[in-house]
Structure 1
């Protein structure tokens, strides 16, 4: 960013402050915005556009076309065009630019396709293998890993939300966990019996890793600090790799499986939306498309008159 013109640098720094202070976006989200906008500013600076005020709709379309020619996927282009629209809407409202050049910018359509699926049978094998490893582990690590695996599938929470949990967020009496999601929105999600049992088993040995750096964190790393998202992802990937039949979808695969299995079991869409922490019902509706596609695929494969 430091190589950019001062006008670009100032605008991008102010926008980052807006994301952090006003919208309370996570570091991960801010990094994504920053990367996309620096890419735009670099591209336009090379074309002689040395500040946001001189950007036109044609410039933005040219940048997206260059990204497409460079092999960017439609989903990536959609995210980048969204970042640009948010930035210029803010810039126009703040007087950084006289007009919003991105107001008419269209996002490329992303086709919906049936993603790989973690079946209930896959998950039973995953948890059986994790429990077997925990039984052989003399330290608390195995119990922690089983607990976080169970919690991710039971609640559908994001990795960042899991890492932010404190011990007091668990309500053992009600069988729920309090989660702080995107935009600092709080929600309460129910826990099933297996998840509650796994969490109880972990909490009983958590003290073995507690240090002065632990604070109230529910899940700890081996050195006693709050668990890092990268550790959670490694645990999930390793657990899925232990079951050859299970697709390695990572933590989001457990979130996806939770939502899909709930809907297939008859849960209503609003309840699933609340549990996942989606601000818009439209985001949750993708899971209805997935389950409908799966039903159609099963019909075509099995019905004699399909």
Structure 2
């Protein structure tokens, strides 16, 4: 059986088991990368070397090629469970890494840059939405799906219960958060005024942050509305993405002394390893070691 034939048989199983946005990415990965390179191959003859050669030939960023590898791995996992092949060779392949990519810390804004960014955006729904992203660390889809009833002003917290994601047809679909778990994020004083203005006159079931005409906000329409390229130039951050506002909150929390497990809970990360990418702890380990060693008495007192 060729990989193409197995895809035709097994794709529906993958499709129902992943989020719509992931299914869309996998569909593109199959059509543009996996199928052209490996679709014609007999599935039992595909080796680790074949997959690594394919990855080297795929275009796109490391993230894009990793999507294709993940899609291929799911196909081969299914084939292994169905006893079509003995095992999944994609699990032994090294995932592509972009050595030029900036660290998550370097992508984060400083406190002063946050002020510059918000001051540069006209007062109204778009500024409030960006403020919510940077002060809570919510994913863009989570902030878009937030409803008035999710905001506890007296308790100074926001309950993240849902997420908007782009479906296969290009329409927005409401789902649970990415981690499939509800979580609570802070409602700091700096965000309070934006929230109060955003929810004034709305019902509990209304979207907390919506466009001027009540439409759903998403990174694409927000970037257009605020002239994101001009904002990048003002900040001298040519690569700044809206998702980097989430990185900003994590970095600022660590710099303020928050514990790693608290940052993990607020960001909704699946593992502490992901969260610790934002910490300076490992970067500063040599300096802390100097202090510890310098405090020791290295010579015998007479």
TM (norm. structure 1) is 0.74
Q: Residue 260 of structure 1 contacts residue 291 of structure 1 at CA under 8 Å; is this kept in 2?
A: no
Q: Residue 129 of structure 1 contacts residue 242 of structure 1 at CA under 8 Å; is this kept in 2?
A: no
Name the CA shift for 1:283/1:234 in 2 (closer, same or farther; >3 Å). farther
How far off its partner does 1:34 sit?
2.5
Runs of 5+ consecutive residues of structure 2 not aligned to the other structure: 162-176, 288-302
Q: Residue 187 of structure 1 contacts residue 277 of structure 1 at CA under 8 Å; is this kept in 2?
A: yes
How far off its partner does 1:201 sit?
0.8
Q: Residue 149 of structure 2 contacts residue 205 of structure 2 at CA under 8 Å; is this kept in 1?
A: no
Matches within 5 A, 1:82-101: 82-95=70-83, 97-101=85-89
Partner residue, 2:130: 149
How far off its partner does 1:13 sit?
2.6
Runs of 5+ consecutive residues of structure 1 not aligned to the other structure: 20-24, 135-141, 208-213, 297-306
Distance (whole Å) between structure 2 residues aligned to residue 291 and residue 265 of structure 1? 16
Distance (whole Å) between structure 1 residues aligned to residue 281 and residue 49 of structure 2? 36
* 2:252 match: secondary structure: helix
**Which 10-residue stretch deviates more, 231-240 or 87-96?**
231-240
How far off its partner does 1:170 sit?
0.9
Distance (whole Å) between structure 1 residues aligned to residue 229 and residue 192 of structure 2? 19
Name the CA shift for 1:94/1:223 in 2 (closer, same or farther; >3 Å). farther
Distance (whole Å) between structure 1 residues aligned to residue 256 and residue 225 of structure 2? 28
Distance (whole Å) between structure 2 residues aligned to residue 239 and residue 76 of structure 1? 23
How far off its partner does 1:127 sit?
2.1
Partner residue, 1:193: 189
Distance (whole Å) between structure 1 residues aligned to residue 135 and residue 15 of structure 2? 34
Distance (whole Å) between structure 1 residues aligned to residue 229 and residue 194 of structure 2? 16
Matches within 5 A, 1:60-139: 60-67=51-58, 70=59, 72-95=60-83, 97-111=85-99, 113-114=102-103, 115-130=106-121, 133-134=122-123
The answer on 1:217 being equivalent to 2:207 is yes
Q: Residue 82 of structure 1 contacts residue 107 of structure 1 at CA under 8 Å; is this kept in 2?
A: no
Query: Which of structures 1 and 2 has the larger relative contact order (alpha carbons within 8 angstroms, sep 6+)?
Result: 2
Matched length:
264
Partner residue, 2:263: 272
Q: Residue 165 of structure 1 contacts residue 179 of structure 1 at CA under 8 Å; is this kept in 2?
A: yes
What do residues 87-113 of structure 1 show as CA deviations (whole Å, max 9, x unaligned)?
Answer: 422442344544322232222344474
Partner residue, 2:48: 57
Name the CA shift for 1:63/1:229 in 2 (closer, same or farther; >3 Å). same
TM (norm. structure 2) is 0.75
Distance (whole Å) between structure 1 residues aligned to residue 230 and residue 265 of structure 2? 27
* 1:118 match: secondary structure: coil
